[in-house]
């Protein structure tokens, strides 16, 4: 067990190293240079001033040196300065993390709380109209761009309640907080919910065919006990794995949803940083995302071993 | 023909998906003929015109006919969907075939690369790649194709690993066939079914990713009318004043992706029943 965790941690470090090199190089083959943009936007004309900007930002150093500076900084918790706001990257990013984390947590909660029950219903009532309806619904949910769903939700709120639940300042009351986080979270989570439903359904169907389910039935257990105690407990295992994969998907959804609902989170910030070619910001944000995704996947695998003794025996 | 009728009866939803896709492809090909107006001609007097007999689904801020823009927008979605899926699946299949068949250090390197790429969400990868290549149609296609590679490579590799051990491959080796020839002639054709299934499953997500990129202003640039960008131009402000600008492009995206998903699901059941869902 310990050996397994150590091996995974080692692989994780290797992967993150690869991500850091890839991102670093990718951002430096860019045609438009940040120095040009800053130079133009400041309305400067003197080429010497441009040289000054390049030197100040350290853009004239060899790539390897720039990379080493970045990694060394990371190790010390110094993420450098934003090219655009000239504030430390850490100060810009840290306050945004809880906002996105809350959204992501709520979205996952929504996805699991709706996806699993609907999946179970769909499997138990296989090939009935209810099942068909739920399956078509889930496929439709997977087909909708989440930013469009967000826009539709906003439109509904405008029409029915005459208000826009978009973020303007930190919510003061609990009600406001639920509205401000809950609505966007449900919008992002809708897609994951459909995915979890489909997975729960197929996994339930698989489990319901097993011998131990027949045994449970034949010893006279109620259908409810068979479904929820014997079948669901085993069917839900693969769903845990998807939650790991879903965090990555969820982040993609959060990028557009935070933009639609005007939420000052990490995901929307990444888009802004990319538009501004703010290298230090982009590379640190992407690194942060990679760390989160890799960590969640590790945790999910460990959780899996914890809940399913069959896997623990195999490793 | 008889087979098509047989499968059509068994998978009615797949038929619906196929019809949606065919209409979509035909619209894209004949956009110039079908569209009532030029998608780029502006008309100040028609700015934000509501749906009417002249403008069936209204006009945008610059008075351009929405229906014509949407019809032409299908070309972008089709180009991106086909381009990104072909490049991504092609390269992924090649890498998967090579790493599964050759094994050894090559396999190890490919695996690590796949792991690195999979630790970033598709949209984040695509965003960073477009940011670095600059906005253009070709770059958008590349940016969406690259993140597809690792997944395809993994599935094909796993497939090749099991095929490699089969008797007929052994037999080919025994009669002295070259490695490349075995890989291409005997192993590769047997990975085609899962490859096609995987590629169709990705059609929808490529269209969605393009829409998201364009919505964020980092996808296909002006003057091409892309569905995603039509939504970002119109977004928040028009929710009150011109809701048709928000409703229709999104509906078009959803419908086409829905068709692709229905068709993909049915195709998987027909070609590769083992994969299941």
- The closest of A83, A91, A89 to A41, measured between CA atoms, is A83
In chain B, whose CA is at the least distance from the CA of A262? B236
Tens-place pLDDT, residues A55-88? 766 777 777 888 888 888 887 877 777 777 778 8
Q: Is B131 on the interface with A (CB under 8 A)?
A: yes
Give per-residue pLDDT as tens, B132-184: 887 888 999 999 999 999 989 998 998 888 888 888 888 888 888 888 888 88
Query: Which residue of B122, B128, B214, B274 to mutate against A (max A Cβ within 10 Å)?
Result: B128
What is the reported pTM? 0.87
Residue B124's closest chain A neighbor by CA? A252
This complex has an ipTM of: 0.85
- How far does chain A reach from its first CA to its final CA, in angstroms? 7
* pLDDT at A161 (0 to 100): 76
On the question of pLDDT at B237 being above 80, the answer is no
Q: Among partner residues B119, B128, B243, which is closest to A26 by beta-carbon distance?
A: B128
3-class secondary-structure state, position A194: helix
Q: What is the pLDDT of residue B277?
A: 44
Tokens 């949910």 correspond to A141
Q: Which domains does chain B have, with CATH numbers?
A: 2-41+58-275 (1.10.3720.10)
pLDDT at B46 over 90: no
| Mean pLDDT in residue range B239-247 | 79
pLDDT of residue A44 exceeding 70: no
- B240 contacts on A by Cβ (under 8 Å): 158
Search chain A and give the residue with CA nearest B276: A202
% of chain B surpassing 90 pLDDT = 23
Provide Rg for chain A, Cα atoms: 24
CA dist list (Å): B180 to A171, B95, B152, B229: 63, 14, 20, 45
Question: Which pLDDT tens digit goes with each residue over B160-170?
Answer: 888 888 888 88
Q: Please tell me which residue, B242 or B130, carries the higher pLDDT value.
A: B130
Amino acid A244: pLDDT: 76
Q: Please give the mean pLDDT across all residues of chain B.
A: 84
Calculate the alpha carbon distances from B186 to B101, B178, B261 in Å. 11, 11, 30
**CB distance A267 to A251 below 8 Å:** yes
* Residues paired with residue B59 on neighbouring β-strands, in sequence order: B65
Averaged confidence pLDDT in chain A: 82
Greater model confidence, A146 or A160 = A146
What pLDDT sits at residue B153?
92
What is the average pLDDT across A266-270?
90
Residue B123 in this model has a pLDDT that exceeds 70: yes
Cα dihedral A91→A96→A101→A107 (10° resolution): -170
């Amino acid at each position: 067990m310990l050996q397994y965790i150590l091996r995974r941690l080692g692989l994780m470090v290797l992967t993150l190293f690869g991500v850091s090199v890839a991102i670093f190089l990718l951002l430096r083959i860019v045609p438009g240079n940040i120095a040009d943009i800053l130079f133009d936007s400041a309305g400067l004309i003197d080429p010497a001033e441009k040289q000054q900007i390049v030197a100040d930002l350290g853009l004239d150093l060899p790539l390897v040196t720039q990379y080493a500076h970045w990694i060394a900084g990371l190790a010390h918790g110094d993420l450098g300065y934003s090219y655009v706001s000239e504030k430390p990257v850490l100060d810009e990013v840290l306050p945004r993390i809880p906002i996105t984390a809350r959204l992501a947590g709520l979205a996952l909660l929504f996805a699991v709380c709706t996806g699993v029950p609907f999946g179970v219903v769909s499997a138990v009532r296989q090939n009935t109209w209810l099942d068909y309806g739920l399956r078509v619904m889930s496929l439709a949910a997977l087909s909708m761009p989440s930013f469009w769903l967000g826009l539709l939700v906003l439109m509904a709120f405008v029409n029915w309640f005459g208000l826009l639940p978009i973020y303007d300042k930190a919510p003061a009351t609990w009600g406001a907080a639920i509205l401000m986080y809950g609505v966007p979270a449900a919008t992002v989570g809708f897609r994951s919910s459909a995915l979890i439903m489909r997975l729960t359904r197929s996994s339930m169907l698989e489990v319901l065919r097993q011998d131990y389910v027949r045994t449970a039935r034949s010893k006279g257990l109620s259908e409810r006990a068979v479904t929820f105690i014997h079948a669901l407990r085993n069917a839900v295992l693969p769903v845990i794995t998807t939650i790991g994969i879903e965090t990555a998907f969820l982040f993609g959804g959060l990028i557009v949803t935070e933009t639609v609902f005007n939420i000052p989170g990490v995901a929307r910030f990444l888009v802004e940083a990319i538009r501004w070619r703010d290298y230090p910001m982009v590379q640190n944000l992407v690194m942060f995302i990679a760390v989160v995704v890799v960590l969640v996947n590790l945790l999910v695998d460990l959780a899996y071993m914890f809940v399913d003794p069959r896997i623990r025996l195999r490793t | 023909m008889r087979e098509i009728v047989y499968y059509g009866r068994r998978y009615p939803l797949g038929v619906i998906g196929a019809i949606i896709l065919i209409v979509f492809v035909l619209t894209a090909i004949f956009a110039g003929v079908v569209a009532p107006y030029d998608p780029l001609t502006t008309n100040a007097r028609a700015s934000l015109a509501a749906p009417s007999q002249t403008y069936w689904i209204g006009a945008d801020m610059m008075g351009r006919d929405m229906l014509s823009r949407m019809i032409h927008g299908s070309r972008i979605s089709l180009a991106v969907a086909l381009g990104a899926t072909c490049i991504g699946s092609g390269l992924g299949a090649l890498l998967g075939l090579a790493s599964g068949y050759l094994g050894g250090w090559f396999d190890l390197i490919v695996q690590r690369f796949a792991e690195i790429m999979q630790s970033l969400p598709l949209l984040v990868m695509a965003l960073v790649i477009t940011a670095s290549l600059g906005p253009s149609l070709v770059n958008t296609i590349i940016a969406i194709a690259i993140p597809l590679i690792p997944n395809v490579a993994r599935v094909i590799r796993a497939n090749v690993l099991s095929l490699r051990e089969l008797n007929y491959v052994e037999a080919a080796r025994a009669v002295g066939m070259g490695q490349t020839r075995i890989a291409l002639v005997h192993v590769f054709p047997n990975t085609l079914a899962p490859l096609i299934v995987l590629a169709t499953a990705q059609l929808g997500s490529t269209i969605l990713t393009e829409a998201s990129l364009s919505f964020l202003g980092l996808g296909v640039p002006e003057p091409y009318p892309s569905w995603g960008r039509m939504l970002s131009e119109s977004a928040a402000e028009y929710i009150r004043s011109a809701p048709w600008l928000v409703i229709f492009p999104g509906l078009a995206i959803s419908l086409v992706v829905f068709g692709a998903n229905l068709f993909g699901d049915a195709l998987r059941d027909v070609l590769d029943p083992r994969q299941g869902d």
